[in-house]
Amino acid sequence: MSARDMKRYGTYWLLGWPDDVHRSSDLAQVDIARRVRRGLELTPQMLRLAWRHRRDVHLRAKHEAAQRLALYFCGGNCETYASYLLTATQRWSLEKCVLAMRQARRQATNAHYDGQRFAPTIARHRAMILEPQEEDESRTAELLARCIDTSVDRVRIHTYRSLDRSSRSDAKARDRDALRTALCEPITLAGPKDRHKCDEVFAQLYLESPWLAEALTYLWRAARVNVEKSGTFVLPPLVLAGPPGCGKTHLAERLGEVSGCAPLRLDMSSITASFIVTGAEYTWASASAGRPIEHIAETQIANPIVILDEIDKRAHGANGGDAATALLPLLERSTAAAYQSPYLEAPVDLSHVSWILCVNDVACLPRPLRDRVRVVQCPMPEGAHLRDLVARILGEDVDPAILETATDAVAGGRSLRWLSRLADQLRAIADAPVLH
């Protein structure tokens, strides 16, 4: 079954079956409908699509009923309209809104004069609100923003009450106190705030890396769900697995740059302990809060994209622990929301951080880590995608023979890093002075 059929028949299964399905002359359609109704073909994907469709229909119906009620009772006043709409959308259910609208229609029908009729009253009040006085425009915009825009732009991730300054005289204590103070302030939630801007971000990334369509599609759908749900650009934990030089690390960095979420790249091949990710206890002489927390304090962005590159080649220290194992509580939203930092000795909300792990071999990751992430394979570019990529990296004015040779080399096993080094060499040759 296609996604369209899943959405259609799953919606029928949840909302009821219309008569035209049972009376249809198409025997295949009737057979599918009967089997779906018996529950033999209900898949998680079908139920998810049907549930999302039902939720969207429910929300649209509720908002329309609440808007009509607010327009009817506001009397053309913008502040009253905003107050009614805010109350109806946040506190009333769909059934209550529909019942109130039916009562209002009944009262308007029983009125003795035409001015109290339901539809003309709504049209008149809507016209009055759309043409407010100049002195009321700012107040109206503020009230309407409270009703419509529910996204959160800033969030507090840490709570700390400063102690007596006389007890913290050394530089180490002052540094920790300064980090705590910076984290206590409201921090910005970056990234797109609606579906349209989210689509623009991933459209740009797909234009740059079309051969990574599988990873981009998964991230795009997950980002849209989180934006619609909470108004925050947060991605689920993801592992990008593929051969060296296929562009997986570049894709993760570009995602952070295009979205504005301040990417942080950590080369895990040179790490021998977990301290760089989770931090170390304050009692250690070289203790730190970990690069993710320090990055949040430096950039003042609560939802950065942290890229753990080459984590499958990490080293296991004798006393520092395994970085992959220490990462487990940070990949769960419930535990990351109250992560107990060993350096700060206080909880920090890291649930807004997006984690992207880049590996060549997934088998080198521990099983508990693989259970908490989604693994997506990243292939090497081929065909037209490869030719367009080589032309974009080397430049449009490069010799066609060099372009063809470089394309064949990458297709034969050369990585994209080699292609970048070749582009640097060509630019150096072009910029070199002419010797007479």
CA dihedral of residues 324, 326, 332, 334 (deg, nearest 10): 180
Degrees to nearest 5, angle at CA 259 with 50 and 149: 60
By CB atoms closer than 10 A (0-12, 13-18, 19+), residue 399 is exposed
pLDDT for res 40: 44
336 is written with which tokens? Answer: 């990351």
Residues contacting 433, CB < 8 A, separation 6+: none
Continuous H helices in 272-411? 275-278, 291-299, 323-326, 328-331, 333-336, 367-370, 383-394, 400-411
Distance CA 431, CA 357 (A): 38
pLDDT for res 10: 56
pLDDT for res 263: 92
Cβ(157)–Cβ(183) below 8 Å: yes
From the list 115, 116, 113, 112, the residue with the least C-alpha distance to 104 is: 116
Cβ(352)–Cβ(237) below 8 Å: no
Neighbour-count burial for 35-53, b at 16+ CB within 10 Å, e otherwise: ebbeeebbeeebeebbeeb
pLDDT for res 143: 46
Q: What is the pTM of this model?
A: 0.60
How does pLDDT run along the chain (436 residues), one tens digit per residue? 555 665 555 555 554 555 555 555 555 555 555 555 555 455 666 666 666 766 777 777 888 888 888 888 887 777 777 787 888 877 788 778 888 888 887 777 765 444 567 777 777 777 777 765 444 555 545 544 444 434 446 777 777 555 444 444 577 788 888 888 888 888 888 889 888 888 889 988 988 888 888 899 999 999 999 888 888 899 999 999 988 878 888 899 999 999 999 899 998 888 877 888 888 888 777 788 889 999 999 999 999 999 999 888 887 665 667 888 888 989 988 888 888 888 888 888 899 999 999 998 898 888 889 899 999 998 888 877 777 777 777 776 777 777 788 778 877 777 777 777 877 777 777 676 665 5
Distance CA 209, CA 203 (A): 10
> What 3-state class would DSSP assign to 267?
strand
